[in-house]
Amino acid sequence: MKLFVGLGNPGSKYAQNRHNIGFMAMDQIASDHGFAPFKGKFQGALTEGRLGREKVLLLKPETFMNLSGQSVGEAMRFYKIAPEDVVVFHDELDLKPGKLKYKMGGGHAGHNGLRSIHQHIGEAYGRVRMGVGHPGRKDLVSHYVLHDFHKMDQDWLDDMLRGISDGAAHLAEGDTAKFSNAVAMRLNPPRPSTGKANPNAKANTKPETRTETPKPEPVPTPAPTEDSRSPLQKLMDKFS
């Protein structure tokens, strides 16, 4: 069994905040893969279903971000889930908007939700780092992450969430490369053909058809023109 945790803050006031992108990921997976409705449990909202061959729990801690570890710890202890079977989805300031990276273990980099999880279960869990960009100054970070996404962010945000859902089964089964590729296919789909010849295509082996060059038609001899000889010349020619 795997536990996917999306970080965020509860309530409609925060629903579209950058800090709530983890909640958004859980909602997308649950909707696309036919999970049961979320129910209140372990100080959070929980649902369960299957992704590929794996049974997976989706958890949205409702303790507010700074206490997320309490909810995660309770769920893990109840289901006897090891830290390496936990994946946390969260906003990442150090990645540009629309960028995503998977990471196993490591520090919390100042993220309050991860800091709390570290305190309750240690650091040996997976993270899906969902880039939201940085406001440029440390004193602006709190306002930035607790502010809604802009309209111009909606295209890449929708692609990222759909890509996460596309690759969720791969992630549950431990194939992080296929998971990352599924997200990349949404965020950076293959370009249409440029019309250039494929260098790997086989050469045309159809025999060449030779075209004979037509011979020029003979130029007709012009008809003789009116006799321009003098009468004397005509008479001399007659008796010659």
Report the catalytic residues: 19
How far apart are alpha carbons 128 and 109 in whole angstroms?
14
Q: Which amino acid is located at 79 in the chain?
A: Y
Concatenated DSSP letters of 77-100:
HHHT--GGGEEEEEEETTS-TT-E
Q: Pick from 89, 119, 4, 112: which is nearest to 52 by CA?
A: 4
What whole-number distance in Å separates Cα of residue 204 and Cα of residue 117? 62
Residue 3, beta-bridge partner list: 57, 86
What's the order of all strands across the beta sheet hosting 44-51?
39-41, 44-51, 54-61, 2-6, 86-92, 126-131, 100-104
